[in-house]
Amino acid sequence: VACVATDFDFFYLVQQWPGSYCDTEAGCCFPGNEKPAADFGIHGLWPNYAACRPDAVTPNKTSCWPDFCNATDTLNPSLIRDLDSDLRGSWGTLSCKRKNSTEFWSHEWSRHGTCSGMGQRAYFRAALELKARLDLTGALRDAGIAPSDKAEYCLGGGGRNETQLYQVYVCVGRDGRTFFFLEYARSISLY
C-alpha cells in the first residue's frame, strides 16, 4: 500500500458527549458499570488532509484522510500501561458491543494512530494532553452552556425537537500540540 504514515495536514481531536452517545439506538455501556463524569470523552485523534484527494490505492475513490497506515503495527497495551488510569478517565469506551476500552484504543491506534507519525505512547499522551488543555466542558460552561436535561441552547429542531450535541472536532497542528481553530460540532437528531 502506497501509504506514507506522516502524509497528512492536521489532526482533529474528536470528543464525544456521553449522554448523546447513550441516547442513540445502540445505547451505551460503561466498563465496570461506572457512570462517566458529565464531561466529554475522547473519541480519537485523527490525521486529516486539508483537501480531499484521489485515493492512492482504490481507483475512483476520494480520500479525505489517511487511515490504517500499517497493518502490522497493532497496539501493544504494555506501552501505554502507565497512561491506563488517565485513558480510562478520558478515553473510556461507551460501546455495549465491545465494552472494553483497550479494544477501542486498539481500533483508534490501527485506524488513525498508525498514520500520525507518532509512536504508540506519544500518540495517546498527545491526545490526553490536548483534552486536558482544552477543557471543552469548562469553556462551554464559561460561555453559559452547562449540561442540563432542561435547558435548550441553539441545537433545536430535531425530530422531537431533540437535537443533541454529539461530538466536537477541534483542529490541531501536525505537531499534535497546537490548537488552531474550532472546526465544527456534529449534532444528532433523536427520533
Q: Which residues bind ligand 5GP (CB under 6 A)?
A: 12, 16, 43-44, 46-48, 65, 93-95, 97-98, 104, 107, 111-112
Q: Which residue in the list 108, 129, 162, 183 is annotated as catalytic?
A: 108
Annotation marks residue 34 as catalytic? no
Annotation marks residue 43 as catalytic? yes
Give 64 or 152: the residue with its C-beta nearer to ligand 5GP: 64
* Cell, residue 181: 481553530
Interacting residues of 92 by C-beta distance below 8 A, sequence separation 6+: 30, 31, 36, 41, 101, 104
Q: What span, in angstroms and rounded, lies between the C-alpha atoms of 88 and 101? A: 7
Of 101, 102, 77, nearest to 28 by C-alpha is: 101
Of 14, 27, 37, 16, nearest to 190 by C-alpha is: 27
Annotation marks residue 25 as catalytic? no
Distances (CA, A) of 44 to 83, 163, 189: 15, 23, 22
Q: What values do phi and psi take at 89, rounded to 5?
A: -75, -35
Write out the catalytic residue numbers. Answer: 43, 108, 112
